[in-house]
Amino acid sequence: MPSTHPPRAVRTALLPLVVAGMLLLGACYPVQPRAASPDREDVTTVSAEGDQVREGGDLVMGLSADPDVLDPTTSSSLYTRYVMSSICEKLYDIDAEGSIVPQLATDLPEIEDQGRTVRIPLRDGVEFADGTPFDAEAVRRSLERHLTQEDSARAAEMGPIEDIEAVDDSTVELHYETPFSPITASLADRAGMIMSPKALDDLGDDFGNNPVCVGPFKFVERVPATSIVVEKDPRYYAADEVHLDTITYRIMTDANIRAANLQSGDVQVVDSVSPTTIDTLRREPGIGLLQTGSLGYQAITFNVGNTDGVGEPPGKVDSPMAGDPRLRQAFELSLDREALVNSVFSNWFEPACSPISPDTEFATEASNACPPYDPKKSRALLERAGVHTPVKLTMKVTNTPDTLRLAQAIQGSVSAGGFDVEIEPVEYTTLLDNQSNGDFQVLQLGWSGRIDPHGNMYAFLATGQSSNYSGYSNEEVDDLLTEAAEQVDMDQRARTYGEVVTQVQKDDPLIYLYRQRNLTAYSDDLTGVSTFADGVVRLSRAGFVEGDQD
């Protein structure tokens, strides 16, 4: 049933437009005249608006990158979260407004003992996909794994837990050494995903090859670098709300190929729509667009101490960029963020200088502060540092067209400030390995974002943490991040995180570049597709409307 965009009723919320002026910088990627700000009205969910949803059908999603391991404890990829949202529910989730809502829990946690005891009520009568009962002991087992497994990427998200107790079958308690304000937000993401204890016993470290959880769908198969298939789980406690028979996540790293497959009908949903194709898709009959602001960021990471792998104590990296923060400050001064956003992304995205979105309640003047574009000052800093110019460095990036255009624009921008950047494109999964192993000088990757700043900062900036890929270590930053997590007052937490941003901008282990919009296109014979500010494309309640063919 073709129609013009928007094809069906959608849930919307108007975000403020970003207005700014600038002078464009000549770069290796040609800079275009400044584009007008596109329509940035949030569209989060496709609703049927009275159309009958057909039961059954096979949905294919064009996925922009190959997910890493399908293990809630160890995974670090946004694209893994897409798949896991269909097969592995969490204790909590977020809704279209960014509010935390119960999922496998029945209510928000009860907080006692001045924040040191967190009591979580659980659903009754729920089964995992393998028939194992879901209960407090299963929850305790998964949370313990997240907290204690050696290669866990979740421990930093859970805070200083002393003990996890299954009080009864439907109640679990977390006991803390000190209060930990971010815990509910953490449990609305991978730290809250609960795995079948039987599958953990049977599979151990291989759980990610055949994940078993509670979810609308269950895992069927994975063909590496090609596809992941899930099918409806009849054991799911709300199976009557699940319409599709299967979902196939097909890996398509080129945005143009994803768009062409959507136009041809070979896929029905695509993520990460490129600003270079978005106008064409929006004019296409029968195709709609979901778009939301992002809680995350895209950044440049410098290896300043990752000598033995992420999570290990920082070592000495023998390079001027690693050893002297003035060089990294100079690099930041050479970045014309607004020119990059305009020339590469047609002004769809927004410059960012901080891991804290200006649209959140944690935003402050300090967290919104942005070092100005000043290549003259950059060259002066390099001169004071006593280095030969241009300073040569190699930046690893993913080998997708949009990212390569961004890298070329960065290359051109920083050349005016005294830098000579060589671009090394690699596969996405290879780049994930490179950043974990410390096999890089500089790299460009992003983070999809969490509703609490702890999820965007602590693991990336605190010494020795699971996502501190730069190997950065600053005792003052460590202390501030710990204080912010312990604080209960929202304004106080916001001020403390602002102090962190101020110090990080002096050290520049990461340079935040821009905040993208989550752009998801879909065929208008679908309903129930959602994309929220956490970046996850949710398909668990998707379905084809009656009268349309898949």
Q: What's the pLDDT at 13? A: 35
Instruction: Count CB atoms within 10 A of the CB of residue 312.
Output: 14
Query: Would you say residue 430 lies in a domain?
Result: yes
Query: Would you say residue 35 lies in a domain?
Result: no
Between helices 454-461 and 475-486, what is the axis angle to 10°?
Answer: 150
Query: Would you say residue 255 lies in a domain?
Result: yes
Angle (CA) 224 230 234, round 5°: 155
**Residues 254, 394 within the same domain:** no
**Residues 228, 129 within the same domain:** no
**Residues 198, 239 within the same domain:** no
**Percent of the chain having pLDDT more than 70?**
92
- What span, in angstroms and rounded, lies between the C-alpha atoms of 301 and 52? 48
Per-residue 3-state assignment (H helix, E strand, C coil) for 235-248: CCCCHHHCCCCEEE
- What span, in angstroms and rounded, lies between the C-alpha atoms of 317 and 469? 13
Which domain CATH number covers 283? Answer: 3.40.190.10
Which domain CATH number covers 119? Answer: 3.90.76.10
**Residues 123, 180 within the same domain:** yes
Instruction: Count CB atoms within 10 A of the CB of residue 54.
Output: 18
- What span, in angstroms and rounded, lies between the C-alpha atoms of 388 and 271? 43
Q: What's the pLDDT at 38? A: 64
- What span, in angstroms and rounded, lies between the C-alpha atoms of 48 and 45? 10
- What span, in angstroms and rounded, lies between the C-alpha atoms of 22 and 542? 42
Query: Would you say residue 254 lies in a domain?
Result: yes
For β-strands 442-447 and 391-398, DSSP reports them as parallel
**Residues 107, 182 within the same domain:** yes
Cβ partners under 8 Å of residue 78, min gap 6: 65, 448, 535, 536
Q: Is 380 exposed, middle or buried (0-12, 13-18, 19+ CB in 10 A)?
A: middle
Q: 243-302 pLDDT, tens per residue?
A: 999 999 999 999 999 999 999 999 999 999 999 899 899 899 999 999 999 999 999 999
**Residues 511, 446 within the same domain:** yes
Query: Would you say residue 31 lies in a domain?
Result: no
Give me the domain span that covers residue 149. 89-209
- Token pair in block for residue 16: 């403020």
Q: Following CA atoms 146, 150, 152, 154 in sequence, which dihedral angle do they give, to the nearest 10 degrees?
A: 60
Dump the DSSP string for 21-73: -------SSPPPPPPPPP--EEEEEE--TTPPEES--EEEEEESS----S-TT
Residue pair 414/421 in contact (Cβ under 8 Å)? The answer is: yes
Query: Would you say residue 22 lies in a domain?
Result: no
**Residues 445, 533 within the same domain:** no
**Residues 434, 321 within the same domain:** yes
Q: 488-528 pLDDT, tens per residue?
A: 999 999 999 999 999 999 999 999 999 999 999 999 999 99
- What span, in angstroms and rounded, lies between the C-alpha atoms of 143 and 147? 6
- Does this model's pTM top 0.85? yes
- What span, in angstroms and rounded, lies between the C-alpha atoms of 67 and 402? 19
Q: What's the pLDDT at 18? A: 26
- Beta strand residue intervals within 131-170, DSSP E: 161-168
Which domain CATH number covers 337? Answer: 3.10.105.10
**Residues 283, 308 within the same domain:** no
Query: Would you say residue 73 lies in a domain?
Result: no
Q: Following CA atoms 265, 287, 84, 516 in sequence, which dihedral angle do they give, to the nearest 10 degrees?
A: 130
Query: Would you say residue 21 lies in a domain?
Result: no
Cβ partners under 8 Å of residue 122, min gap 6: 91, 104, 105, 106, 134, 135, 136, 139, 169, 170, 171, 172
- What span, in angstroms and rounded, lies between the C-alpha atoms of 271 and 94? 19
**Residues 254, 359 within the same domain:** no
Residue pair 208/74 in contact (Cβ under 8 Å)? The answer is: yes
Which DSSP state fits 78? H
Q: What's the pLDDT at 469? A: 98
**Residues 539, 430 within the same domain:** no
Which of the residues in the chain have pLDDT under 50? 1-34, 550
C-beta contacts of 375-378 below 8 A and 24+ residues apart: 375/333, 375/334, 375/416, 375/417, 375/418, 377/330, 377/333, 378/330, 378/331, 378/333, 378/334, 378/414, 378/416, 378/417, 378/418
Q: What's the pLDDT at 36? A: 52
Number of separate domains in the chain: 3
Residue pair 199/128 in contact (Cβ under 8 Å)? The answer is: yes
**Residues 186, 308 within the same domain:** no
